[in-house]
Structure 1
């Protein structure tokens, strides 16, 4: 980290710890017995209202911006999802 300027989040150790900590609080982990097959096509990373974080954490994490979602304003794992999923018009992911 460079002193005197804003922290950019480019600390691999910190980012790895954040990634592991956030993974433990997933809404719908794919290994859960009640995870439905159709949810594989309705993951946050493909939702119109998911905005990826910048930097290294942005490869897997973003914020939900869907006013109708229970996760609005929360950081979400790109492979998680919710009942308010809205497909992106361009079909992109992440």
Structure 2
């Protein structure tokens, strides 16, 4: 497995495509809800993580699709989540924004 090299004293930005692709594959495997599931309910479509007030996007390229749940009432609190995933503790943003 290749390693992303970072200059001493510089933070790693996460902008390594190979690394990000591997993360995406691993993290997608832990989806709570997938729109591809036969039992995916219509009302879940508007209650996806990326539209939740407790969703905090990651920085760098991974932040385009992933964030961390910070909802203390959610079983997913503190876990990296795909922006189109969701949970029963969804709290929509007052401004209706997404991502």
Indicate whether the TM-score tops 0.5. yes
Give CA deviations for 1:25-56 in whole Å, capped at 9, x if unaligned: 11111111111010000000000100000000
> Does the 8 Å contact 2:13/2:59 carry over to 1?
no
Q: TM-score scaled by structure 1?
A: 0.94
Runs of 4+ more than 3 Å apart: none
Length, aligned pairs only: 94
Deviation at residue 90 of structure 1 after TM alignment: 1.1
**Secondary structure at 1:26 match in 2:** coil
**Structure 2 matches for 1:3-22, cutoff 5 A?**
3-4=7-8, 5-22=10-27
* Aligned residue number for residue 39 of structure 1: 44
**Secondary structure at 1:76 match in 2:** strand
**Secondary structure at 1:14 match in 2:** helix
* Aligned residue number for residue 56 of structure 1: 61
Q: TM-score scaled by structure 2?
A: 0.90
